[in-house]
Structure 1
């Protein structure tokens, strides 16, 4: 048997342990260092780059050790580059005043880039409902477009997956039911202020209104004007609607009967097992507390003050 060349041997081994798709991707990828200014953000990127404690720690790590994992970018027709995966690393590099960011440069179509961008970011430890909402919507739309292609280089998704729909495939990939995927995508119809309240249910920031997923989904069927009117009532009442109240509002909206008065009436209905609330206008007590004092701390302080007052009154009666 004749001697095989090293290149031939490598090709043979490569064909055994990798797929053709992986070999094609490797051929159209390379690694280099790029100035952060040359990398634009992914359009409509659904994942927030927050300046939180995690970012501070990442920036400090980057300052000491550099960026250890390259970002993934794709070349654009004008000669610039677009970030696909690595927005947080890029921001950390900027905070650490690094001149360049290590990047894998890969040729990707728009839909390929969307799918890679979503998949890579879904590995984060904490993902907000709003991030899932827009990410699932973007990926689902990209998968559907890929499934519609019938050219010689692409097999429709339905054929590749044994007839499963794009939503079924997406649900399997992210570990969510089809109904849950639908619920998250409905959130993209909320005005930003209401969507922030759904995120607050995860962030648990003191003093901010929080709203669960199920009522938020029902409210997503309201028009923008109806949602804005609801927002004003919610801020005035300092509460968010229950699931049952949200369903009632959606029903009135579908009948064309939802207006600010109806919204207020529904919001003032007593929720099941709800304890009656006593409210004090904030301006009457602001002078007793420092600006920015959390609502829970204010409530606890008032209760303690009343307990001391009651003890003093009882002592005077003796």
Structure 2
């Protein structure tokens, strides 16, 4: 069984079946009867998924769900897969499981699926994205896991998950922000729009603090980033040549695409009126440096 579970599988193959699990929609009369055969299992035999895309569970939401479960029980079964012994690992429904524990239930309804590692991650991402349960950083980290662990491209993920490639690329770029800025997004003090505006800033942490304190809108944040960049450029190079103006939209878009592909910050300096320039790739760890070397040596 373990050999089958770890066998690579292209993203999107059989995705309609995975979507049916998440949505509890019938596929056909016979298939529905087989797939919807939920069973009750002891709650202590259910364990969490260590790769769960959702990292934060708001206590207020859990309290509301716990109260509902105490009154009506678990209305939608958890999706699980068999693990060693007679244990089951959660594929989707960890919040229901946590609330059921708080409600002191002894059993929970489950749908048992023999998912591979890739399918398990897909279902977890699909469920959370469909229910808007992931914040921008959690969603971005989920896409990064699918790319790094299973070799999926942004194009294939976009097609399979019903998202645009630019949506996925823009989210993955958020992972290049400083840790303190990412924490503000995780805590929902900054939106994805605020975070995207800060990606190109060399002063993201200080600006993020101003945005939170001032309650700035995304548009005001974009204006603040431009103003800060202009101030930094003026102080660093007061006698800049005329060609050192702001980069055009095409250059910025190309920088964004390359940054998303390499998962590192890429800067393009093209000499105005000419055909030459330079490309700068910034790495944060030696592992990223090794990755650059491997790419260039192929």
TM-score bucket of the superposed structures, by smaller chain: 0.5 to 0.7
Structure 1 unaligned blocks of 5 or more: 1-16, 146-165, 257-318
Match of 1:267 in 2: none
Q: In the TM superposition, what whole-angstrom CA distance separates every residue of 1:116-145 from its partner, at most 9, and x where no partner exists? A: 111122121453111211222234456646
The alignment status of 1:215 with 2:197, answered yes or no, reads yes
Q: Confirm or deny: 8 A CA contact 1:42 1:83 kept in the other structure.
A: yes
Give the distance between the partners of 1:79 and 1:216, measured in 2 at CA: 48
Tell me which of 170, 179, 182 is aligned to 1:195: 182
The normalised TM-score by structure 1 is 0.51
Q: In the TM superposition, what whole-angstrom CA distance separates every residue of 1:170-218 from its partner, at most 9, and x where no partner exists? A: 2244443212211212223445422122345xx35xxx89971323433
Q: Taking CA–CA contacts closer than 8 Å with sequence separation of 6 or more, which of the two structures ends up with the larger relative contact order?
A: 2
Tell me which of 68, 74, 84 is aligned to 2:91: 84
Match of 2:104 in 1: 97
Q: Confirm or deny: 8 A CA contact 1:74 1:105 kept in the other structure.
A: yes
Give the distance between the partners of 2:281 and 2:168, measured in 1 at CA: 27
Give the distance between the partners of 1:109 and 1:123, measured in 2 at CA: 21
Closer, same or farther: CA 246–126 of 1 in aligned 2, 3 Å? farther
Q: Confirm or deny: 8 A CA contact 2:36 2:111 kept in the other structure.
A: yes
Closer, same or farther: CA 127–177 of 1 in aligned 2, 3 Å? same
Q: Confirm or deny: 8 A CA contact 1:114 1:142 kept in the other structure.
A: no
SS at structure 2 position matched to 1:98: coil
Match of 1:74 in 2: 81
The alignment status of 1:36 with 2:43, answered yes or no, reads yes
Match of 2:115 in 1: 108
Give the distance between the partners of 1:120 and 1:187, measured in 2 at CA: 22
The normalised TM-score by structure 2 is 0.54
Give the C-alpha shift of residue 66 in structure 1. Answer: 0.6
Match of 2:65 in 1: 58
Q: Confirm or deny: 8 A CA contact 1:209 1:238 kept in the other structure.
A: no
Closer, same or farther: CA 99–60 of 1 in aligned 2, 3 Å? same
SS at structure 1 position matched to 2:80: strand
Q: In the TM superposition, what whole-angstrom CA distance separates every residue of 1:87-146 from its partner, at most 9, and x where no partner exists? A: 11001101111112111111111111111111122121453111211222234456646x
